[in-house]
Structure 1
């Protein structure tokens, strides 16, 4: 047993006469230096769990309070328990005695993300401001603040309706200069607050007033004044390398309305992930930018000569059903004609971006060709501009137009592809219907000529094809596509893999396709099961 007062361990044993006696046994763990004990407690990855070790002995009472990393809050907070969660966060900060904090992570989430819970009033601004002041005083290095999404506010930030009246979102001041040691900051505010970036005095020559240590910044689901964000990125963060701005509402002035335009320039930025809500990004100038992931209602101009990876998601239909451009596309200037990776998610035409590059190591296209003859012809024209690539990943909705004809037309421009991954996406709204329900007999996807493969499709480098249905893809469509693959001029083709999705599996369709091609030695079947840890495992 352990004596609570001294940390010594004793054991009850029997002596030679058969009588019980207590023998002291040294407690090797409690005798370790504080630094080693801190290292042990940090492996618990929870400050609450570390604090519970104080019941072991008097030696352990204050060990956890000197931890340099704090993991506070919880990941699933029932509505009734939110106040106690917030109180525990405040109590842990009050008990902390570490003069400097390397990492502070505060997480409060809904118990069920799909259920409306009254958390808006449970997390007032003064609580969050106190947490941020704590971070400033303790010379913090890494900050991660994640609040639950306010579903009622998400669609109307920076204002929300309370009791029938429109209320302005509470301002949340962030004194960045006070956190001069911070290297990484993540602020996920759940559309609850208007973020005020306090940067006074402005930077001057020599770095005074600049946020010189910050290398990674993430702002999610918040409202931010345009001029403050521009100044932060362009002037106050000379070492900023990774920037993520996701679901952010840009304001013009003191939160009076949405900003009409936004631009940024950074000589240090290497990675940019940006998605703005109802705001137009005009220009990004970043000489060292290597990775760009962008999505939004409209494109913007990018000047980045070092660009190597581009991911563009057109979240709304940027084109009319006849393929006519109605919004500004993404324009990339200064970059080389080749990329390591290009990922495009678009409901329609993508030719304006595909023709920008001559060669891409990994090309990933997620397409939904709109209804109509003109839209399909635009799709065919876009595929004429397909850059050379070694790995091609195509996600295509099968029901709008003929899936197999669409893929065959795309493959006519893919003579250098070594690996082809095809994802057949189930279209849920409207329900899946036959191809004739979506396009007329005049549509090119209905033409018999498009099935001609003799001499027209030469895939001299193709070695492997993976087919991954997402949802219950029509068995006939899958079988027809597999059959067409073996008809192609692909002398190097070694195998065709049919892989079932672990998230929306179609067991019946999987078994039907498997029974059709089980005897073919070049067709391999895989089933992936989702594990509790969120990883995929192969089911033999």
Structure 2
């Protein structure tokens, strides 16, 4: 509310100092501050701590309910979360909930309250830290909670820690632009692919699904998706993506342990970056036209092994699909013991015309010069080279090239 003084100037109305402050002696100048300043102060506290300030005086009783963000850091009492959401009055630009070893009913106690009044207008982050080690057995035993329709949320990141997620069969996530599901078991009655497709997620631009069970068939039709990352989808047999605006696609370890009746069909004519760190065979993986593709990362190549390895066949089959590619990332992997295996680099006879080449080497203590130079001799047109080493190693690189190459060596020590 604003008032006008006699000189015509407009000044904000400030709350009068509370007469029931706890000190009873000195003037309570903090309580005299405007609501927006007090809210800014309380934003520095976790929500349970901010809510306790309501006991200070009548002036503070409802200030915390005006917070635009609520944060619960690994609380043990989910009833506390629901009570806070029901008492809260403002729209939420961020709701963060962290729980340790949550059960489905504990999540169901507060998540519907966050969605019921369309309260979340920004980001929802839920992180459950699990204690179990038998991932799939744990996911099946724990049961599932229903995902409510988040009508106003713009992003949702759910790390469920082996909890099951029941996908709603109806409802529109009208403003959702990003969705991330990690460590989750997918349950019916709805299908995840239908839920993230354009009719129900018209604004979704980025989708990440990682370490998930229960997705044997994933079908996505979207006009808005620009980035899709699918990683460790255990049991996936069929994948269909029709996305006219898709720019980046990452499929990693989704088909490795499930090699029967596999079908993958990708229609993404605007695709720029493709990471297919997985089995590939043109007989069951149909990638469609990719005229705009600039960056490719195929399955890793085993330097030593047995003939007809699926890894190497997948790598070479995908690379041979392209005559020219701006950026290629190729990973060479060595087993710890290689004495009883064949040298397989001779199977690699050609690479596309490349401008930027990233060679990733996991040498595991072995000399890798011969395999590296076997690859580099096929890359006469590169202008930039990056070498990444995924194990500690002493490296000396000499390039006998007669043409200019910008060489950038990046050593990554993986622990």
The interval holding the TM-score normalised by the smaller chain is 0.7 to 0.9
Aligned counterpart, 2:402: 489
Indicate conservation of the 8 Å contact 1:73/1:88, yes or no: no
**In the alignment, structure 1 residue 92 sits paired with structure 2 residue 93:** no
Query: What is the rounded CA distance, in whole Å, between the counterparts of 2:284 and 2:300 in structure 1?
Result: 11
Q: Which residue matches 1:50?
A: 50
The partner residue of 2:293 within 312, 329, 338 is 338
Question: Structure 1's 132 and 239: CA in aligned 2 closer, same or farther, altered over 3 A?
Answer: same
- In 1, Cα distance between the equivalents of 2:318 and 2:108? 43
Distance 1:242 1:218 in 2: 8
Using the TM superposition, give the Cα deviation of residue 151 of structure 1 relative to its aligned residue in structure 2, in angstroms. 2.6
User: What's 1:197 paired with?
Assistant: 167
* CA apart distance, 1:241: 1.7
Which residue, out of 90, 94, 103, partners 1:103?
A: 94
Shift of 1:366: 2.4
| Match among 330, 350, 357 for residue 365 of structure 1 | 330
Under a length normalisation based on structure 1, what TM-score does the superposition of the two structures give? 0.60
Work out the CA distance in 2 between the residues paired with 1:415 and 1:51.
65
**Kept after mapping to 1: 8 A contact 2:136/2:213:** no
CA displacement, residues 311-344 of structure 1 (integer Å, 9 cap, x when unaligned): 2222xxx4xxxxxx889675421221531x3334
Q: Provide the rounded CA distance (Å) in 2 between the counterparts of 1:358 and 1:137.
A: 53
Which residue among 207, 213, 237 is the counterpart of 1:243?
207
Specify the structure having the higher radius of gyration (Cα).
1
C-alpha contact (below 8 Å) 2:78/2:109 kept by paired residues: no
The aligned residue for residue 33 of structure 2 is 32
Matched, 1:301 2:265: yes
Q: Secondary structure at the match of 1:102?
A: strand
By how many angstroms is 1:304 displaced?
Answer: 0.1
Cα deviation, 1:215-274, whole Å, max 9, x if unaligned, reads 2222222222475213212332222221112122226xxxxxxx3x33221122111111
- 1:266 is aligned, of 222, 235, 256, to 222
Provide the rounded CA distance (Å) in 1 between the counterparts of 2:413 and 2:343. 36
Shift of 1:159: 2.3
| C-alpha spacing 1:233/1:387, structure 2 compared with 1 (3 Å) | farther
Supply the RMSD in Å over aligned alpha carbons.
3.4
Q: CA deviation at 1:286?
A: 0.7
Native 8 Å contact 1:99 1:138 kept in 2: no
Report which of the two has the higher share of helix: 1
Look up the match of 1:281.
238
Distance in 2 separating the partners of 1:345 and 1:55: 59
CA deviation digits over 1:384-410, x for unaligned, max 9? 1234123x2211122597511111111
3-state SS of the aligned residue for 2:202?
Answer: coil
Asked if structure 2 preserves the Cα contact closer than 8 Å seen for 1:369 and 1:375, the reply is no
Quick one: distance in 2 between partners of 1:503 and 1:52?
Answer: 44
Decide whether the 8 Å contact of 1:395 with 1:424 is kept in 2.
Answer: yes
Judge conservation of contact 2:155–2:177 (CA < 8 Å) in 1. Answer: yes
Aligned pair partner of 2:379 in 402, 405, 414: 414
Counterpart mapping for 1:63-74 below 5 A: 63-74=63-74
Q: Which residue of 2 aligns with 1:132?
A: 111
Residue 275 of structure 2 aligns with which residue?
311
Normalised TM-score (structure 2): 0.77
Confirm whether residue 59 of structure 1 aligns to residue 59 of structure 2: yes
> Unmatched 5+ residue regions in structure 1?
11-21, 75-81, 110-118, 161-168, 201-208, 252-258, 319-324, 426-469, 505-540
- 1:233 matched residue in structure 2: 196
